Structure 1
Amino acid sequence: MIYRFRIVLDNDTEDDVFRDIEIRETDTLEDLHNCITQAFGFDGIEMASFYVSDDQWNQGEEISMFDTSEGYETMRLMSETTITDVSDEKRTKLIYVYDFFNMWTFYVELAEIVEETKGVDYPNLMFVHGQIPTEAPEKSFRSDDEFDDYDEYGDDFDDDFDVDDYESLDFDENWN
């Protein structure tokens, strides 16, 4: 069977940027990764991962190009994961992130499953819409602005605490 995916750039601009790709159900996520990088004009040398997603595009389990777990836990790899392992009629959405420094983020959605057409080479780039921008769209990782008055540790920015003022600290310097 052939899986038809639409890969949409997570983009806050007015222009939609997407590609429609056909790929065999027995191909791996590494094959899909290679097809996506070629379809969007990337050189394919940067790290990338797929993430299993639910219907609301919530990011789930990571499926990486390389094992980065350092032996602590098992990690699914693109080269060992087939398309049917993560996608079917009920599981239609994946998130794909390419180049973790620039965070090119794409929504990958299964549009349909069809019979293979004789004479067509797969994977197959079916349709191209829009030009990818020269730089990755900026991401906002906060769901709201309620934390803007706090630093990374949850403290107020304006707490007037001087970290170099040891005289005001209440402890005995000769404790050993």
Structure 2
Amino acid sequence: MATYNIDNKKTRIFLEDFNTFTHYLNNKVVTIGKSTKNISSKFLYEMNGLMHVKQQNITEKSKQSSYPMLHLFCKLAVEGNLFKEESIKGSKLALKSTDRLKTFNEFNDIEKYMFLLETFWIDCDMRKTQCILYDYMDVSIVTRNVEYLSTQKSNEDIFTNNLPYLSSSTLLCFTYFGLMTIEANMDEMIKDARRFIPSKIVINDLGLKIFKILNKKRNLELWNIPHRKNYGEWKVNFDEAFIHVFKSLFKKGELEQTFSRNKEEFKDGTYTFKVSLDKNTWAKIKISAHHDLDYLHECIQDAFEFDNDHMYSFFMDGKAWSNNKFTCPMDYEGPWANDVNLGELNLFKKQKFLYLFDYGDEWWFTVEVFDIEDSNTRLLIPEIIEFKGEPPEQYPDFDDEC
């Protein structure tokens, strides 16, 4: 079988630009929006100037949606756990490197490239990775596009009108990865966050091989973790490493290292959560890593003197009604809060998430991981160690207001 390399110009530029991106993040305090998690405009403008692939028609105030490649890089860096969000002074959030970044930088170029492709395929929520605002990209659409592209010939023009659904974001992502080239008047379209229609698509030899493997052996509906979590799974395991079926594309020994999966880490200890209704009303709760989220829910109910008479959810990304959630045991849709212990959640200090109680009245509480203590003894009964303010009335007496 013929072997390939990733020395084509597009792929080389992709790796060099991603390296520039991570180096910039690692050497500056780069802030992100609290709700959007997008990089602040001033940093995007500076980074764009350092890239080989520069986005045109942007200003210092342009948002992340105007920088499709940097948007993709941000998702790869965070979902690949090379960087994580961290609270800094003034309650701002910044992206900080993890220990994995050092290991990633020790990979050879093929291993780096395949790890980034793996992160895109397995860890990225396709809807959030969509890099053109007025476009659509989800698991179904990406799957259909890959299926079509895998049946084409390399180094020949492809007619886009035969694509089952033209997703500009999908085509852009594959182009940035160096799997193919496209010709289109993109700059004005991207400036206005509109989808574009390529006049020409050409897949290279390596790109066609990768599309064929992705289509036949790495079905996106089975391998994409956010997609599977949308259907109630929260522990997703795989029988073999993602890179295994790609090794034959390269010379022996060139694709060996990646980050392990299916490694269930339990972060033992005693957790202290600061649960805030507002800045003047909050409780601190100390609880064991071996207690589940449903137990934490009961502690919050006790702390705020609620009646525990409605359903609830924990939204781990802090966004109400997102799919990154654990629901109460009575809810018809999981994953459920009583199925996961706190130590299984890979929580870290200063991390924040949302506890939403009562789907009608919607009481919103911000839950912050205030501290994690190593302990040789297990805390059997959770403790409410501090409370500030007055517990709110769950059901105010409206007659008193008349």
The answer to whether the superposition gives a TM-score over 0.5 is yes
Over residues 110-162 of structure 1, what are the superposed CA-to-partner deviations in whole Å (9 max), with x where a residue is unaligned? 011113486965311000001133258xxxxxxxxxxxxxxxxxxxxxxxxxx
Q: Which residue of 2 aligns with 1:3?
A: 271
1:47 aligns with 2:311: yes
Contact between 1:16 and 1:130, CA under 8 Å: does it hold in 2? yes
Contact between 2:314 and 2:355, CA under 8 Å: does it hold in 1? yes
Higher RCO, 1 vs 2 (CA within 8 Å, ≥6 residues apart): 1
In 2 relative to 1, CA 122–115 (structure 1 residues): closer, same or farther, beyond 3 Å? farther
Identical positions, percent? 24
Q: Distance in 2 between matches of 1:90 and 1:18?
A: 17
Q: How far is the alpha carbon of 1:23 from its aligned partner?
A: 0.5
Q: How far is the alpha carbon of 1:40 from its aligned partner?
A: 0.4
For these two proteins, the number of residue pairs brought into alignment is 124
1:127 aligns with 2:386: yes
Q: Which residue of 1 aligns with 2:325?
A: 62
Q: How far is the alpha carbon of 1:17 from its aligned partner?
A: 0.4
Q: How far is the alpha carbon of 1:103 from its aligned partner?
A: 0.7
Q: Distance in 2 between matches of 1:135 and 1:88?
A: 29
Q: Distance in 1 between matches of 2:346 and 2:378?
A: 25
Q: Which has the higher helix share?
A: 2
Q: How far is the alpha carbon of 1:48 from its aligned partner?
A: 0.8
Out of 69, 74, 79, the residue aligned to residue 338 of structure 2 is: 79
In 2 relative to 1, CA 37–135 (structure 1 residues): closer, same or farther, beyond 3 Å? closer
Q: Distance in 1 between matches of 2:293 and 2:378?
A: 23
What amino acid sits opposite 1:6 in the alignment? Answer: K
Q: Distance in 2 between matches of 1:131 and 1:67?
A: 30
Contact between 2:276 and 2:283, CA under 8 Å: does it hold in 1? yes
Relative to the length of structure 1, the TM-score reads 0.62
Q: How far is the alpha carbon of 1:86 from its aligned partner?
A: 2.5
Q: Which residue of 2 aligns with 1:115?
A: 374
Q: Which residue of 1 aligns with 2:348?
A: 89
Over residues 154-174 of structure 1, what are the superposed CA-to-partner deviations in whole Å (9 max), with x where a residue is unaligned? xxxxxxxxxxxxxxxxxxxxx
In 2 relative to 1, CA 104–91 (structure 1 residues): closer, same or farther, beyond 3 Å? same
1:104 aligns with 2:367: no
Q: Which runs of 5+ in 2 are unaligned?
A: 1-268, 396-402
Relative to the length of structure 2, the TM-score reads 0.29
Q: In terms of mean alpha carbon deviation, does 25-34 or 125-134 score higher?
A: 125-134
> Which SS does the other structure have where 1:27 is aligned?
coil
Q: Distance in 1 between matches of 2:351 and 2:370?
A: 8
Contact between 2:274 and 2:282, CA under 8 Å: does it hold in 1? yes
In 2 relative to 1, CA 114–82 (structure 1 residues): closer, same or farther, beyond 3 Å? same
In 2 relative to 1, CA 23–119 (structure 1 residues): closer, same or farther, beyond 3 Å? closer
Contact between 2:306 and 2:394, CA under 8 Å: does it hold in 1? no
Q: Distance in 1 between matches of 2:319 and 2:378?
A: 38
> Which SS does the other structure have where 1:94 is aligned?
strand
Q: How far is the alpha carbon of 1:26 from its aligned partner?
A: 1.2
Q: Distance in 2 between matches of 1:83 and 1:4?
A: 11
Q: How far is the alpha carbon of 1:58 from its aligned partner?
A: 3.9
What amino acid sits opposite 1:8 in the alignment? Answer: S
Q: In terms of mean alpha carbon deviation, does 96-105 or 81-90 score higher?
A: 81-90
Q: How far is the alpha carbon of 1:82 from its aligned partner?
A: 1.0
Q: Which residue of 1 aligns with 2:283?
A: 19
Over residues 5-60 of structure 1, what are the superposed CA-to-partner deviations in whole Å (9 max), with x where a residue is unaligned? 00000x4xxx610000000011100010010001100111211111112xxx4454
Contact between 1:5 and 1:22, CA under 8 Å: does it hold in 2? yes
Q: How far is the alpha carbon of 1:83 from its aligned partner?
A: 0.8
In 2 relative to 1, CA 115–51 (structure 1 residues): closer, same or farther, beyond 3 Å? same
> Cα RMSD over matched residues?
2.4
Q: Distance in 2 between matches of 1:88 and 1:96?
A: 15
> Which SS does the other structure have where 2:294 is aligned?
helix
Q: Distance in 2 between matches of 1:127 and 1:95?
A: 20
Q: How far is the alpha carbon of 1:102 from its aligned partner?
A: 1.1
Q: Distance in 2 between matches of 1:117 and 1:30?
A: 24
